[in-house]
Amino acid sequence: MKYFTADLHFDHPFVAALRGFITDGTPAEDIRAMPLVERYRHVNVDAHDHTIADNLLHLGKGDELWVLGDVASGNAASRAKAVRLLDRLNVPRKHRHLILGNHESGMHPNAQAMGEWAEVFGEIAVSSVIRLTDGTPATLSHFPLRQSFIDRIVPDGCAANALDPAWAEYAPPAVAPLHLHGHTHAKTPLEFSGRAQINVGVDAWGLKPVPETALAGLVEGGVA
């Protein structure tokens, strides 16, 4: 079975705060304004990280996993923690694929060397086109389709910088009937209505990876 996910954000206190892992009621935006070391005092980052990692542990040796970017916050400590967590997966390394996000590339100030990712992923790419088991072609990218950046209509529930023009050049055009992405942190997989775009980020799927059977259900339902 093919599984897809995105926006794990291991060891990222602000994102963990937005996902409900605040320990003392401090508002997430206040946490964002704090120095990095201070943020960890208000957020249970380990609980956040292990929740996501444990959900990935349900995948077996016969499964295939595609992570569409933003595995960690991007600094050295977060990358090292992400590697430790991903190294526990049952999915063989050769069946783990990483599509680079802005937190793995030079677009983000915390993104540095990516050598660690080769330890836990058998393939690393900027984007990809695959066929689902039913034969449906799908583009895979961290970002929504390029047309979404041109339209600049940020759907409700997305991150404020979801369609930042700085990332538009990395967003692919529509070259397949289905486009899988992350990046926006939307709470729904179908925030871009009217286009065959499905958000596989953990925010839209209860912090769990998405089986391709769930994607087929969305497409067949005519709402993608």
CATH of the domain at 121: 3.60.21.10
The secondary structure of 30-88, three-state, reads: HHHCCCHHHHCCCECHHHHHHHHHHHHCCCCCCCEEEECCCCECCCHHHHHHHHHHHCC
User: Cα-Cα-Cα-Cα dihedral of 40, 46, 47, 48, to 10°?
Assistant: 80
pLDDT of amino acid 184: 94
Q: What is the pLDDT of residues 139-190, one digit of tens each?
A: 999 999 999 988 888 888 888 888 898 889 899 999 999 999 999 999 999 9
140 domain residue, yes or no: yes
CB 87 within 8 Å of CB 54: no
Copy the structure tokens of residue 20. 């409900």
The three-class DSSP label of residue 131 is: strand
CA atoms of 86 and 53, how far apart (whole Å): 7
What does the pLDDT average to over 208-221?
82
pLDDT of amino acid 157: 83
How many Å separate Cα 222 from the centre of its chain? Answer: 24
CB 118 within 8 Å of CB 128: no
The three-class DSSP label of residue 14 is: helix
The three-class DSSP label of residue 165 is: helix
24 domain residue, yes or no: no
pLDDT of amino acid 224: 38
27 domain residue, yes or no: no
Q: What is the pLDDT of residues 94-103, one digit of tens each?
A: 999 999 998 8
31 domain residue, yes or no: no
Distances (CA, A) of 190 to 28, 125, 179, 197, 200: 25, 24, 11, 7, 9
Q: What is the pLDDT of residues 39-56, one digit of tens each?
A: 999 999 999 999 999 999
Buried b (16+ CB within 10 A) or exposed e, 112-132: eebebbeebbeeeeebbebeb
Predicted model pTM:
0.92
The three-class DSSP label of residue 119 is: helix
pLDDT of amino acid 115: 77
In the predicted structure, residue 106 carries a pLDDT above the cut 80: no
Reference 96, options 104, 106, 108, 88; nearest CA is 88
pLDDT of amino acid 211: 96
Q: What is the pLDDT of residues 120-139, one digit of tens each?
A: 999 999 999 999 988 989 99
| Helix (H), strand (E) at residue 142 | none
148 domain residue, yes or no: yes
73 domain residue, yes or no: yes
Structural domains of the chain, count: 1
33 domain residue, yes or no: no
197 domain residue, yes or no: yes
Kindly state the percentage of the chain with pLDDT values over 90.
69
The residue among 213 and 104 whose pLDDT is bigger is 213
Mean pLDDT value across the chain: 90
Kindly state the percentage of the chain with pLDDT values over 70.
91
Which domain does 96 fall in, by range? 2-6+65-220
